[in-house]
Structure 1
Amino acid sequence: MTIMRAISSTSVLLPVGGVWQLLVDADTAPTVVVTPPTGDPETVTPEQTSTGRWESSYALTEPGRYVARASLDGQVVDFAAQALEVTTGPVLDVPKVVHYLGQISATEETVGEALQAETFAQARVCRVGAVYPPDLREALLRRVARNLALRGIPLAVLRGDAEAGATVLPGRDPEVRRLEAPHRKLPIG
């Protein structure tokens, strides 16, 4: 019996217009079926790249989730791709941030300054490519909200009660850390 296994990543994030490459290791050509976001499955013919290696390429033409299944002799390997539009302009603008924040006392100029600072701060610690995923967008919104909230608290010290004393805000928002975790740059050396 032929054993089939995935060589390429089984889960990827790609830009719309990109080519999704599915690589499997098998003795003979597997059957590969790709289901785009529209739900109409398409069979893709794999090409042999070297002995035992088969590659299927599929162009991602619209945003959304694509699923592929390679099958051979009762074995299956499933793949998933999320296609997102390439971000050509700013990832967020001041009106979108103001809408997210709701009723605030900060001026649009102040929100713009916080947005600019936090956009650069995020880019310094995260891999931000041409595709800007929704989790990074949400983290950036929370960064701006935290930035604006801390401006009204001198030295970022909150008043506690008489028993607990003063409490200091944590250095980082746990939700921002969670949302940015898959995109964090890893320091080397």
Structure 2
Amino acid sequence: MGVRTITNAAVLLQTGQRWVIEVETTDDTGRPVAGAPSVVVTLPSGTTVSVPAELVSGVGRYRAAYTVASTGRYVAIVATADYGSAAFTAYVMGTTTEAGMPTTDDVAAYMRGGASSWTTEELQDALDAEAAAQRAVCRVGAIYPPDLRQALLRRVVHNLAMRQLPLAIEQGDAGATYVPGRDPEVRRLEGPHRKWVIA
């Protein structure tokens, strides 16, 4: 079986966090065996760092940890002499401050000129409402990733479009059609960050 991953093979971290990697070494029948692995982390700059792996408990379970200091993509290869290897990836981003959150200027740029019919106050009102709506259904942590940012901007555009259709009905050559209340692209982008409701 080789090197079996215990922790997630791909993670999103913020700068300064510890990247914890845990594996189990097994023989060809899947039984845990002693086989201390080497762990080599490739940094975003391309340089490599060797990280010691420690035996966690029992036989064959090992853990290594590395503090990520800069943003970018990290790759770790956990390899053994006799039982193969496994690869791990960490995407590291900096903490998003208030200054890094979407603004009305970002909304206007996203709308490609379509914001000219709206005042700054109206754009801000829609942005505030949709940011609150996003926080209500998504886990929004210290890192504000690009997919959530894109979803928020799209939410604002949808919000403004719906203001022109109070009853969500659009008149066309084929008659009246109902405009869907939920944007499928927003659902797609926010999907990995959605809160799970447990009854």
TM normalised by structure 1 equals 0.93
Aligned position for 2:136: 124
Q: In terms of mean alpha carbon deviation, does 112-121 or 21-30 score higher?
A: 21-30
Hey, what's the Cα distance between the residues in 2 that align with 1:65 and 1:4?
22
Structure 1 position 143 matched with structure 2 position 150: no
Distance in 1 between residues matched to 2:84 and 2:2, nearest whole Å: 8
Superposed CA RMSD: 1.4
User: Where does residue 157 of structure 1 map in the other structure?
Assistant: 169
1:45 paired with 2:52, answer yes
* 1:7 has 2:6 as partner: yes
1:89 equivalent in structure 2: 98
Distance in 1 (CA, whole Å) between partners of 2:171 and 2:22 is: 57
Q: Structure 1 residue 3: deviation in Å?
A: 3.3
By how many angstroms is 1:74 displaced?
5.1
SS of the residue 1:38 aligns to: coil
1:97-151 CA-to-partner distances (Å, cap 9, x unmatched) read 2222221211111100000000000000011111111000000010011111111
Q: CA offsets, 1:15-48, max 9 Å, x none?
A: 1111100001122211111111111122111111
Could you tell me which residue of structure 2 aligns to residue 28 of structure 1? 35
Judge which range, 4-13 or 96-105, deviates more.
96-105
Bigger drift between 92-101 and 137-146 goes to 92-101
Secondary structure, aligned partner of 1:109: helix
The runs of at least 4 consecutive aligned structure 1 residues that moved more than 4 Å come to none
Amino acid in the other structure paired with 2:19: W
Q: 1:76 aligns with which of 69, 85, 89?
A: 85
Q: Distance in 2 between matches of 1:83 and 1:98?
A: 28
- How far off is 1:84 after superposition? 0.8
TM-score normalised by L of structure 2: 0.89
State the secondary structure of the residue aligned to 1:5.
strand
Give structure 1 stretches of 5+ with no counterpart.
none
- Structure 2 gaps of 5+ residues are 26-33
CA distance in structure 1 between the aligned counterparts of 2:181 and 2:166, rounded to whole angstroms: 15
Q: Percent identity?
A: 48
Q: Which residue does 1:57 correspond to in 2?
A: 65
User: Aligned pairs, how many?
Assistant: 186
